[in-house]
Amino acid sequence: MATLFTKIINREIPAKIIYENENVLAFEDINPQAPHHVLIVPKVEIPTINDLTPENVHHVGNLFLAAKDIAKQLGVSERGYRVVMNCNAEAGQTVFHLHLHLLGGRRLSWPPG
Amino acid sequence: MATLFTKIINREIPAKIIYENENVLAFEDINPQAPHHVLIVPKVEIPTINDLTPENVHHVGNLFLAAKDIAKQLGVSERGYRVVMNCNAEAGQTVFHLHLHLLGGRRLSWPPG
């Protein structure tokens, strides 16, 4: 069964898409935690960080290259932004399709959760 | 001038090193924010996410493969863990040598800072 994010990638579920290339899709988080809060997802389904291998880890690189581009697009590259990825229950992962949170537009505090 | 992290990699400054391979070094954060709080750094100096390119982004993949291994080593793979990377001032980046924070061992809250 396709994940929620695959359904967004396939335009079966609406989302505020702000960026797309052949490898990744990025859209606004529906429950934003900062003035800019974007989810960046690979177009292939990889459930968690625990499922990364030398063969598929280039998808993470693609998420980070997209994060850099999106930060520039949003005007936060120089001010700063944070990227976060959750793995499993204690981190609060709810969709088991790898996704990088990008937060920016305000001072981000520490600890990160 | 070498970054603080390059000095740790070169054993010029002490750190509680918990993991090393040919590409990355990982050590305990000196100001831990969770029962497990590890910094994972590439052995090459890349200042921020804004400096990533298709040519050097494999270093980020190596950080994530190390994160997966370290989470297993720490016994938090299944319970869960969070990885965080800060870029520039508003995210609180203080060392300009790419580093991935891995936090685990407790329930991590939301928002992530």
List the helix and strand counts (H, then E) for chain B: 2, 5
B99 is known as an active-site residue: yes
Asked if the Cβ–Cβ distance from B61 to A65 is below 8 Å, we say no
Whether B56 has its CB under 8 Å from any CB of chain A: the answer is no
Interval B46-61 mean pLDDT: 98
Q: Which residue has the tokens 């493969």?
A: B65
Percent of chain B having pLDDT more than 90? 99
Instruction: Report the half-sphere exposure of B62 (CA within 13 A, side-chain side).
Output: 19
pLDDT higher than 90, residue B1? no
Q: What is the pLDDT of residue B105?
A: 98
Report how far residue A19's alpha carbon sits from residue A82's, in angstroms, rounded to the nearest whole number. Answer: 18
A51-88 confidence digits (pLDDT tens): 999 999 999 999 999 999 999 999 999 999 999 999 99
pLDDT higher than 90, residue A1? no
pLDDT higher than 90, residue B10? yes
Report pTM.
Answer: 0.98
Whether B16 has its CB under 8 Å from any CB of chain A: the answer is no
B59-91 confidence digits (pLDDT tens): 999 999 999 999 999 999 999 999 999 999 999
E strand residue ranges, chain B: 17-20, 24-28, 36-42, 81-87, 100-104
- Cβ atoms of A27 and A8 within 8 Å: the answer is yes
Report how far residue A55's alpha carbon sits from residue B111's, in angstroms, rounded to the nearest whole number. Answer: 32
Task: Give residues 24 to 53 of B whose Cβ lies within 8 Å of A.
Answer: 33-34, 49-50, 52-53
Asked if the Cβ–Cβ distance from A113 to B93 is below 8 Å, we say no
What CA dihedral angle connects B43, B48, B51 and B52, to 10 degrees?
60
- Cβ atoms of B97 and B3 within 8 Å: the answer is yes
- Cα A90 from chain centre: 18
B89 phi and psi, to 5 degrees? -60, -50
Q: What is the pLDDT of residue A25?
A: 98
Q: Mind telling me how many Å the CA of A58 is from chain B's nearest CA?
A: 6
Asked if the Cβ–Cβ distance from A88 to B68 is below 8 Å, we say no
Q: What is the pLDDT of residue B71?
A: 98
Report how far residue B86's alpha carbon sits from residue A80's, in angstroms, rounded to the nearest whole number. Answer: 8
| Per-chain mean pLDDT for chain B | 98
